[in-house]
Amino acid sequence: MVHDIRIVTEAELRRAVTMDLDTVEVVERAFAALATGGVSMPPTLSMPFAGGEGAVDVETALIDGLQSYAVKILSGLRDTPDLRRPGRDGLVVQFSAETGAVEAVFLDNGYLTDLRTAAAGAVAARYLAPEDVTTAGVIGAGPQASLQIKAARLVRSFERVLVYGRNPHNAAACAADLAASLDVEVEVTTDPEVLVKRSQLVVTATSEQAPVLKAAWLHKELHVTAVGTDQLNRNEIEAAGLVRADLYVCDRVDQCATAGELRAAREAGLFTDEAPPELGDIVTGRRPGRRSPAEITICDLAGTGAQDTAIAAHAADLISETGTVIRA
Amino acid sequence: MVHDIRIVTEAELRRAVTMDLDTVEVVERAFAALATGGVSMPPTLSMPFAGGEGAVDVETALIDGLQSYAVKILSGLRDTPDLRRPGRDGLVVQFSAETGAVEAVFLDNGYLTDLRTAAAGAVAARYLAPEDVTTAGVIGAGPQASLQIKAARLVRSFERVLVYGRNPHNAAACAADLAASLDVEVEVTTDPEVLVKRSQLVVTATSEQAPVLKAAWLHKELHVTAVGTDQLNRNEIEAAGLVRADLYVCDRVDQCATAGELRAAREAGLFTDEAPPELGDIVTGRRPGRRSPAEITICDLAGTGAQDTAIAAHAADLISETGTVIRA
């Protein structure tokens, strides 16, 4: 049936939807819905490109109570040597949950994915990081690394940020961006071990397939969020580290077992008989989060379609009359 | 990265892309590519809506040699009582196979799916139907039923069409549409058994979950294509009929085992140890098609992402400068 469809560009979305506490709340509610059974979410559709150079991933979910649902498509090269070039493209399509009609197409080039992923990092930090974080560290220096620190700052008032990136140019650019955006002191370090040891909150946001964070570096009063960057075979934390932690949490166990740290851990024979708690369990109080300042906690974020549906509905609320309406 | 994306409406697509022999060839080549290993195609992502009233289905495939690939999303109610209301909505997104960038969004409301499905019916008829078809019958009276007969007429020059629909109003409308479009005599019948017995080519295009075509009705010199209408639990042909046929062909075995006649057949204990040949095997001569005029042949079309990628590339070639370009 012919109806109006709103087409919204990345630039329009960036003006309307930002990394703020509202965005964090929206994603936190999506995790709560996942825990309380209010979400229908199929496994991610993933099709690798020839030669393993990239892939297309499709995620979707229905969330009870939301008037819309989203189908998110990310497409492109996974691992670009030059991190300034976004290694992906994509869009988010929003449908009416009542009629199934297409309502909006967000030509976001992955922006909404960046936001919902960083917002999940903030939810993890809110429930799992020590209350007192004076130093936050980030391993990885791409756009997601920077956004994770900005999101974490919404829930923890650290005064210093340490940045480690394999490429010194990218690390410097990431540090400059953070120094300009946040009222914090920013240091670039060439030693990830030092970064971890000095921090109370660490985010890994790399496309590494071999651990960048060793189990031996973990220390009391530390929370680590592993977020990766669209790398199916990513492995950022040494599997032994997940066991050494007092608490290891997945955003969604089946997603992490496919595309998160849990995959490598299970290949190493760990967590084969037990399912770690999910972030939604912590958010809703079904399972305990951090129990003392001294604990080591780790959160594994592989990404969920529920976040995509939630951020798209949030974007639709905020864009209002923005964009181009096409009758089709 | 900011780039131009072409947005094309259903009306614009209907003007540019029609049910003609070029469309049949494009889909036939997709089946050939499936058979020769030139396609990467993940299983369909399917998410049912609450209460089983509808679903969203996502299909995609990479075809060697094509510069683009498509992700097709169909969304909406599966089984609407009023067939004049399309029971679905959706769009097709076209990406560069080289860079992964979004190139076009076809706001087609399922039109390209209708075309590629009908074109597959024509491919099946071309290779499997008797050379001499004087009467073609269609069970079902929705838009896909009509389009299947138009497509079949491109490859077989029948002079009479029989239409059976559960809803007499829809059957009359379908018959009128066919009489106006094709130089054929069209009769509406209220008895599907008579329809099958009088026809050499039959298409079933219903959303039935209990067989509308009985095994006992099958006769010499007959080809049947079962196409269904987006019904995951559809079952149009009595399972015993698949065994009674001299040749039973799937568009894609794994798709038919999930969403085609093969699903019900396997539940009935048939075809559990053997995989039927695929349409691409017949098209490329890897497996024999019809061997004599007397044979009974059946083709089960559940739909493949390869068809979506092929029809989208074809549409992109034909639309040229049509549509609205948005820089995003």
Give the separation between CA B53 and CA B63, rounded to whole angstroms: 33
Q: What are phi and psi of A214, to 5 degrees?
A: -85, 145
DSSP assignments along A74-112, one per residue? EEEES--SSTTS-S-EEEEEEEETTT--EEEEEE-TTHH
Contact B44/A40 with Cβ under 8 angstroms?
no
* Contact with chain B for residue A89, Cβ under 8 A: yes
Portions of chain B given CATH number 3.40.50.720:
124-303
Residue B216's contacts (CB-CB under 8 Å, 6 or more residues apart) are none
Contact B21/B117 with Cβ under 8 angstroms?
no
Per the DSSP assignment, residues forming a β-bridge with B23 are none
State the Rg of chain A over Cα.
19
Helix intervals (H) in B17-110: 21-35
Give the separation between CA B207 and CA A18, rounded to whole angstroms: 44
Give the separation between CA A280 and CA A282, rounded to whole angstroms: 5
Residue A262's alpha-carbon distances to A144, A170, A173, A192, in angstroms, are 21, 28, 31, 22
3-state helix, strand, coil in chain B (%, to 5): 35, 25, 40
Q: A121-304 has which CATH code?
A: 3.40.50.720
* Contact with chain B for residue A60, Cβ under 8 A: yes
pLDDT at B80: 47
Q: Are residues B101 and A75, on separate chains, in Cβ contact within 8 Å?
A: yes
Q: A4-112+306-327 has which CATH code?
A: 3.30.1780.10
Nearest Cβ partner for B47 among A9, A40, A105: A40
Give the separation between CA B149 and CA B119, rounded to whole angstroms: 10
pLDDT at A84: 37
Nearest Cβ partner for A99 among B76, B97, B101: B76
pLDDT at B230: 61
Name the residue type at position B64: D
Q: Are residues A99 and B90, on separate chains, in Cβ contact within 8 Å?
A: no
Q: Are residues A1 and B56, on separate chains, in Cβ contact within 8 Å?
A: no
Which residue's entry shows tokens 């990766």?
A228
pLDDT in tens, A178-228: 999 999 999 999 999 999 999 999 999 998 889 999 999 999 999 999 998
pLDDT at B24: 98
Per the DSSP assignment, residues forming a β-bridge with A268 are none
* Contact with chain A for residue B60, Cβ under 8 A: yes
Give the separation between CA A175 and CA A195, rounded to whole angstroms: 14
Give the separation between CA A70 and CA A307, rounded to whole angstroms: 9
Q: What is the mean pLDDT of residues A131-146?
A: 97
Q: What are phi and psi of B46, to 5 degrees?
A: -130, 125
* Contact with chain A for residue B91, Cβ under 8 A: yes
Interface test with A, best of B63, B73, B83, B88 (most A CBs within 10 A): B73
- pLDDT(A265) > 50: yes
Give the separation between CA B187 and CA B134, rounded to whole angstroms: 13
Portions of chain A given CATH number 3.30.1780.10:
4-112+306-327
Q: B124-303 has which CATH code?
A: 3.40.50.720
- Comparing alpha-carbon positions, the chain A residue that sits nearest to B55 is A100
Give the separation between CA A161 and CA A237, rounded to whole angstroms: 20
* Contact with chain B for residue A2, Cβ under 8 A: yes
Give the separation between CA A14 and CA A115, rounded to whole angstroms: 10
DSSP assignments along A128-155, one per residue? HS-S--SEEEEE--SHHHHHHHHHHHTT
* Contact with chain A for residue B109, Cβ under 8 A: yes
Three-state secondary-structure class, residue B245: coil
State which H helix or E strand residue A295 sits in: none
Show residues of chain A in contact with B326, CB under 8 Å: 7, 9, 107, 324
Show residues of chain A in contact with B86, CB under 8 Å: 1
Give the separation between CA B113 and CA A127, rounded to whole angstroms: 46
pLDDT in tens, A43-64: 999 998 876 677 899 999 999 9
- Give pairs for B266-271: CB < 8 Å, separation 24+: B268/B239, B270/B239, B270/B240, B270/B242, B270/B243, B271/B242
* Contact with chain A for residue B79, Cβ under 8 A: no
Show residues of chain A in contact with B45, CB under 8 Å: 42-43, 45, 58, 60
Q: Are residues B49 and A62, on separate chains, in Cβ contact within 8 Å?
A: yes
Helix axes A21-35, A111-128, angle to 10 degrees: 80
Low-confidence ranges of chain B (pLDDT < 70): 51-52, 77-88, 229-232
pLDDT at B121: 98
* Contact with chain A for residue B268, Cβ under 8 A: no
Helix axes B111-128, B143-153, angle to 10 degrees: 40
Side-chain half-sphere of B98: how many Cα atoms within 13 Å? 4
pLDDT at B88: 67
DSSP-derived pairing of the beta strands B222-226 and B296-300? parallel
Show residues of chain B in contact with A62, CB under 8 Å: 47, 49-50
ipTM rounded to 2 decimals = 0.92
Q: What are phi and psi of A193, to 5 degrees?
A: -65, -45
Show residues of chain B in contact with A97, CB under 8 Å: 49
Q: What letter does residue B276 receive in the DSSP assignment?
A: P
pLDDT at B91: 97
Give the separation between CA B43 and CA A225, rounded to whole angstroms: 31
Show residues of chain A in contact with B95, CB under 8 Å: 56, 75, 89
Contact A5/A103 with Cβ under 8 angstroms?
yes
Name the residue type at position B293: P
Tell me how close the Cα of A322 comes to any Cα of chain B, in angstroms: 14
Portions of chain A given CATH number 3.40.50.720:
121-304
Give the separation between CA B226 and CA A116, rounded to whole angstroms: 43
pLDDT at A255: 92
Read off the tokens for A1.
């049936």
Give the separation between CA B296 and CA A80, rounded to whole angstroms: 54
Interface test with B, best of A82, A91, A308 (most B CBs within 10 A): A91
pLDDT at B87: 55
Read off the tokens for A26.
């929206």
pLDDT grade for A256, boundaries at 50, 70 and 90: very high
Nearest Cβ partner for A45 among B58, B91, B93: B58
Contact B24/B155 with Cβ under 8 angstroms?
yes
Interface of B with A in 135-154 (CB under 8 A): none
Contact A297/A220 with Cβ under 8 angstroms?
no
DSSP-derived pairing of the beta strands B4-9 and B102-107? parallel
pLDDT at A80: 47
Q: Are residues B107 and A102, on separate chains, in Cβ contact within 8 Å?
A: yes
* Contact with chain B for residue A100, Cβ under 8 A: yes
- pLDDT(A67) > 70: yes
pLDDT at B273: 87
pLDDT at A186: 98
A/B interface, count of CB pairs below 8 Å:
150
Show residues of chain A in contact with B56, CB under 8 Å: 60, 69, 71, 95, 100
Angle of CA points B201, B202, B208, to nearest 5°: 170
Nearest Cβ partner for B93 among A9, A47, A73: A73
State which H helix or E strand residue A59 sits in: strand A54-63
